[in-house]
Amino acid sequence: MNLRKLSVVLLALLLAGMAMVPIVSAETISAQTNTAATSNENDVQKDNAIPELPDFMPGIKDKPSYEEMKRLMKTTPSSPPVPESEMARIIFAKTWFMQNDEDPQADEVQLTFPVTWLDTPPVSDDEAIVLLRIPKRLLELGDINSDPEMITVSYPVTRFREFSNLNAINLTPQVQKINLDTDLEEFDELSAPAFGKSQTRSKTTIPDKQVRAQYVRDTAYSVDAIKGYMLASGSSNTGGESFVNYNENEVYLDGAGDVIEFIIHYTDFGQTTARVSVYNNETWDTPLNWLSIDLTGLDFKRVEYELYLLSGGIYDIWMCEYSSGTWYHNQYTDTNNPSTYITWMMGSTELDTVGGISKKFSTWATIRATSTRSGTTWFDPEDTFNWFDYTPDEQYVAITSDFEYNDIRHRHHAGTNW
C-alpha cells in the first residue's frame, strides 16, 4: 500500500480521539482580494473552441423565499437511510488489502476480488481485517469487471474501516479512516485570512448574492458519473444576522435546463444540512428532503456523494454520512428530454437575506469532485474538465476553486468579511 495511504490507516485512531472545533470567530478573518483558480494546461479546451455557458443557471431566485426555506428546514426531517437489508459487508484480510490495492493514487483504492467473498470472506478469526460496507446496488454500479465471477471496484480510502479481528466488528466502534492531508487541511484553512473581499459593510446593500467557479467538460470525454464529498467546516452568527446560505457543486447536464445540485446548507438558527436538488427543464422538481441529511450537532460534518446517469433518463444519486457510515439514496427519472452526460461543474456560493446586511456572521464549506467516469473508466476530474472562469465578484459571498490532488476543489465562504 502507498505510504501515504498506509499513514491514513495507522493514524486513524489518533484522529478519532481528536476534538474538532470548526467554528472560527468572524473577527479572526480579515478582508483581502479574491484570488483566481490556479491555471494549468487544462485551462483551455483542447479543440480551442470557446464553450457556451448554459442558458439556465439556478440561483436564489429559483429557490423558496428566505421565510419559506427556514420554515421548511425546521419542519422537514432527513431522508430515510438505506435499509440494512440492502447493504453489503465485504471483509478483507488486512494483509491482502494492503498488497492488492491496484490504484496508484494515495486517496483511492481499487480492488478485484471473487463474488463469493460477498458471502464467505477468506479470513481467520484472529487476523486484522478491513471492512467495506456499501449498498448492494451501488456495488453493482461501481463494478467494472466483465467477468461475472469477479468484482472490480474503486472507492476513496475513507470508505474502508479497519478492525482487529472478525469479532471486533460487532464489539467496537468503526474506526474512522480520515484523509489526513485534505480534511484536516480544510479545518486549518479556516483561521487564515485567505479569500476575503475589500468591500466595506453596508446596511443598504441589496441581498440575494451569488458567485460561481466554472469548469467545462473536456470534449474528449463523455462523463456520466462523478464521486466526491462535501465538508461543512463551520458557521458563526454572533451578530444575529438573518440569512440562509447555500454552498453547492452544480452539475449541469446535456439536457436543456437539467441541473443537479450537491449542497451544504446553513441557516441563521444554526442548522446544517447536506442535500441534493434536481432541476428539470429549469424547474426545481424535488422536495427538500428528497435526499437530505441533517448534520446539525455532528463534530465532523462530512458527506460523500456519488451520481450516475443511467439509461432511461434515471439519475441515480447516493450520499453517505461519514461519521456513522449511514447511506442515503434516491433516483430521479427524467421522462422529458433526459440527459446522458455532464457538461459543466460549477461551485456556487449563494446567500439569501432579509433586507441589508449589518451584523457579523460567517460560513465555510468545501466541496470536491474526486472522480469522474467516461465509458467504463474512472478519471481524475483534472483530466475530464477544464477551468473556465469566475462569475463577477459579489459582496458577502466568496468562492475559490482549483485542481488539487487532481480533484476539483471548491472552497466556499459567506459573511460580513467577504
- pLDDT, tens digit, for every residue of 219-228? 999 999 999 9
Q: What is the arithmetic mean of pLDDT over 154-167?
A: 89
pLDDT of residue 48: 62
| Dist CA 157 CA 144 (whole Å) | 18
Lowest mean pLDDT across 33-37, 51-55, 73-77, 333-337: 33-37
| Dist CA 160 CA 227 (whole Å) | 16
More confident residue, 267 or 32: 267
Chain segment 239-297, per-residue pLDDT in tens: 889 999 999 999 999 999 999 999 999 999 999 999 999 999 999 999 999 999 999 99
What string of DSSP letters covers 95-144?
A: HHHHHH----STTEEEEEEEGGGGTS----TTS-EEEEEEEHHHHHHH--
Residue 226 dihedral angles phi and psi, to the nearest 5°: -140, 155
Q: What is the arithmetic mean of pLDDT over 196-224?
A: 69
Q: Tell me the pLDDT band of 47, cut-offs 50, 70 and 90.
A: low
Q: What is the arithmetic mean of pLDDT over 192-204?
A: 31
Q: What is the arithmetic mean of pLDDT over 314-322?
A: 97
Query: 184-192 contacts: CB < 8 A, separation 24 or more?
Result: 184/15, 186/231, 186/233, 186/366, 186/411, 187/20, 187/22, 187/233, 189/411, 190/22, 190/24, 190/233, 190/234, 190/364, 191/24, 191/28, 191/29
CB atoms within 10 A of CB 159: 20
| Dist CA 298 CA 176 (whole Å) | 14
Q: Tell me the pLDDT band of 214, cut-offs 50, 70 and 90.
A: very high
Q: Tell me the pLDDT band of 187, cut-offs 50, 70 and 90.
A: very low
Q: Tell me the pLDDT band of 170, cut-offs 50, 70 and 90.
A: low
38 grid coordinates = 490556479
Distances (CA, A) of 347 to 38, 264, 410: 15, 11, 6
Q: What is the arithmetic mean of pLDDT over 159-165?
A: 90
pTM assigned to the model? 0.82
Average pLDDT, the chain: 82
From 146, 316, 326, 334, select the one nearest 255 (Cα to Cα).
334
pLDDT at 339 over 90: yes
Q: What percent of the chain has pLDDT over 90?
A: 61
- Residue 158: CA atoms inside 13 Å, Cβ hemisphere, count? 23
- Amino acid in the structure at residue 69: M
b or e along 347-383 (b: 16 or more beta carbons within 10 Å of the residue's beta carbon)?
A: bbbbbbbeeebebbbbbbbbbbbbbbbbeeebbbbbb
Number of H helices, E strands in the chain: 7, 21
